[in-house]
Structure 1
Amino acid sequence: MSKVNCKEVTIICEDGYKLAGSIFSPSGQIKGAVLIGPATGIKRQFYKPFAEFLAENDFAVLSYDNRGIGGSLHGDIKKHSASLQCWGLLDQPAAIAELMAQFPNTSYHLVGHSAGGQLFGLAHNAKALTSMFNFASSSGRLLNMKIRDQFKSHFFMNLFIPISNSVFGHTKSHWLGMGEPLPKAVAKQWQTWCNGGGYVKTAFGKTIDKHYFDELTFPTMWVNAVDDFIANDKNVQDMMSVSPNIQAKTLTLDPKDHGLKEIGHMKFFSRKASVLWDIPLEWLNSHA
């Protein structure tokens, strides 16, 4: 395995906003370059063990914090204007551009986690990607969940988010163990999109005038877990339908098949679940 070199970078978005990023690169020749698209409210440090694993296997990696999250939160979160769509329209394309600048003349891949693999069609330069591997990326549509799961989802989306936004000026999602606190507009848009169908599709022709979902044709792998009530099979298919021309494969994991107690929505990238990491590595090797 290659020795891993790590460094911090600042990613400049089209509107001048600065994002915090981390680069992981092998000391020798690279097979390709990978962007890790983070889940909603999840800091880039969460993906460090996985990024190091990819770098040890000769892939360069860039992870980053979306605006309003972690190292990319500047100022008072209550006054922050970040939204889900600007994560896709501004942050992810800036991260793709940074990946290409750091590692020219190679293949480029997105490993998306939840929102990180849901917003790719908003990036104007997504066509530069060779492939995409997603975990737990789905529409998150509440109506496609089992009844018992709809109750807790409705509580968070349709009660907790509006009350928290009203009282605190942002969503205290960390109170429920759901990552970092969220800027008001991020949580509000998340609520709206998950109450509709097709996630980001609900904003087409409304707040989103231009997108590239129907123009993208690169190969994609959509992986979910049987114990993830959010990214269930129906919601994965619902999200995939937004990109009708992509080459899509799916894989549903059962933790028991891999000697794990759980995978759920978050555990795939945990070091404890590293037994699963050969799955994305094989995908990347086959598309590098």
Structure 2
Amino acid sequence: MNLQDMPPPAPTRIESPLPDTTPGKPFKETAPDGFILGGFTWRHPSSDATRPIVIINAATSVRCRHYSRFADYLFAHGFDVITYDYRGIGESRPASLKALQASWTDWGALDFEAMLKRAQREFPGQPIDVVGHSFGGCAAGLGASGHLIRRLVTVGAQFAYWRDYAPAHRWRMFGKWHVLMPLVTMIYGYFPGKRLGWLEDTPAGVVRDWSLSTARYEKRPSGRAISKTTGQLPFAGVTAQTLAISISDDPYGTVPAIERLLGYFTGSTNSHLRIHPEDIGEEEVGHFAFFRSAYQATLWPIALAWLQNGELAPDTPGRRVPRS
């Protein structure tokens, strides 16, 4: 039997992101290299130079539609909002993933950069804020125009260094994401995540970045490329007021993982808020649940307050993690 003829492994149940919801108005945007990206815009009818525009960066292989309820919430509180899919995902998926050359750095340096430029063009003069989930927080530091970001909120943001995974889950996660995922990708030419029930189908270059076991982003395949070209990674160009939110039962977003990524944002004023589920009367939250509407009354106001004022309310649940 040829490798291409082999059936995929049996589906495995994992924590799933929130279900799709009705998005805003669709748009197409051309990335700097000519790739056509798809997304959605929530825009108020009247222009206002004081109204912030928020770009939402998705997690790896999670469709932008999954953040529509959160976008609705921000829109209802006076923000304009952009959601979009990275190349290869959802609204930005080409006919074939096998031929797509795409990496984590492409998602940040090209796709997120295109959204920064779109926000600047379509919402002239308005402050630009960003919300980044998981890798979406890393992508926020990869755009050449990162200096445009006024405020940044990240949720469980890291770049999947396996030793940072929660100890109780580390070896299972290593086997899944750093052994099985690249092996299946070698067989199919891309990662067939939807067939497995493991998020969205994912380009091979992104899988290479995710699965390589190195503690430094610039040592990842696409990180090496960008640092070799420019001499450094662009994170330091971000001068935003930055809030990193982590949840204690998130096996990806541990304190070491969050702090590892924050260490790249040397030009920002950074705060790290650590929340335990019991702080908001819950037994578990995990990596995906922050953006579910069930947390509109408990978790979403934390991000909202930071985007509105650049500070946390006195009664914010959780505790600040001391910066080393």
Per the normalisation by structure 2, the TM-score is 0.82
Contact 2:208 2:221 in 1 (8 A): no
Instruction: Go from structure 1 to structure 2 and tell me whether the alpha carbon gap of 1:131 and 1:198 turns closer, same or farther (over 3 Å shift).
Output: farther
Cα offset, 1:207, TM superposition:
1.5
Cα offset, 1:145, TM superposition:
2.7
For 1:258 and 1:118, locate their aligned partners in 2 and report how far apart those are by CA, in whole Å: 26
Aligned residue runs from structure 1 range 230-245, under 5 A? 230-245=252-267
1:16 to 34, 49, 57: 34
Contact 2:149 2:238 in 1 (8 A): no
For 2:167 and 2:133, locate their aligned partners in 1 and report how far apart those are by CA, in whole Å: 25
For 1:258 and 1:190, locate their aligned partners in 2 and report how far apart those are by CA, in whole Å: 31
Instruction: Go from structure 1 to structure 2 and tell me whether the alpha carbon gap of 1:163 and 1:205 turns closer, same or farther (over 3 Å shift).
Output: closer
Secondary structure at the aligned position of 1:10 is classed as strand
In the other structure, the counterpart of 2:151 is 131
Between 258-267 and 168-177, the greater mean CA deviation after superposition: 168-177
Query: Which residue identity is paired with 1:156?
Result: K
1:75 aligns with 2:98: no
1:26 to 44, 51, 75: 44
In the other structure, the counterpart of 2:305 is 282
1:45 to 46, 58, 65: 65
RMSD: 2.0
Instruction: Go from structure 1 to structure 2 and tell me whether the alpha carbon gap of 1:176 and 1:240 turns closer, same or farther (over 3 Å shift).
Output: farther
Aligned residue runs from structure 1 range 197-212, under 5 A? 197-200=215-218, 202=220, 206-208=224-226, 209-210=229-230, 211-212=233-234
Cα offset, 1:186, TM superposition:
0.9
For 2:120 and 2:283, locate their aligned partners in 1 and report how far apart those are by CA, in whole Å: 38
In the other structure, the counterpart of 2:236 is 214
Aligned residue runs from structure 1 range 80-229, under 5 A? 80-175=100-195, 177-192=197-212, 195-200=213-218, 202=220, 206-208=224-226, 209-210=229-230, 211-229=233-251
Per the normalisation by structure 1, the TM-score is 0.91
Residues 18-54 of structure 1 show CA distances to partners (whole Å, capped at 9, x for unaligned) of: 1111001234546211000111001111000000000
Cα offset, 1:10, TM superposition:
0.5
Between 212-221 and 78-87, the greater mean CA deviation after superposition: 212-221
Unaligned runs of 5+ in 1: none
- Which structure has the highest helix share of the two? 1
In the other structure, the counterpart of 1:253 is 275
Give the number of aligned pairs: 282
For 1:24 and 1:111, locate their aligned partners in 2 and report how far apart those are by CA, in whole Å: 15
For 1:229 and 1:50, locate their aligned partners in 2 and report how far apart those are by CA, in whole Å: 23
Residues 128-165 of structure 1 show CA distances to partners (whole Å, capped at 9, x for unaligned) of: 11111100102332112344322112112222122211
Contact 1:169 1:184 in 2 (8 A): yes
Secondary structure at the aligned position of 1:11 is classed as strand
Query: Which residue identity is paired with 2:246?
Result: N
For 1:138 and 1:59, locate their aligned partners in 2 and report how far apart those are by CA, in whole Å: 26
Cα offset, 1:214, TM superposition:
2.3
2:75 to 47, 50, 55: 55
For 2:118 and 2:310, locate their aligned partners in 1 and report how far apart those are by CA, in whole Å: 21
For 1:110 and 1:48, locate their aligned partners in 2 and report how far apart those are by CA, in whole Å: 15
Secondary structure at the aligned position of 2:250 is classed as coil
Instruction: Go from structure 1 to structure 2 and tell me whether the alpha carbon gap of 1:238 and 1:231 turns closer, same or farther (over 3 Å shift).
Output: same
Higher CA-based Rg: 2
Unaligned runs of 5+ in 2: 1-22, 312-324
Query: Which residue identity is paired with 1:55?
Result: F
Cα offset, 1:204, TM superposition:
8.1
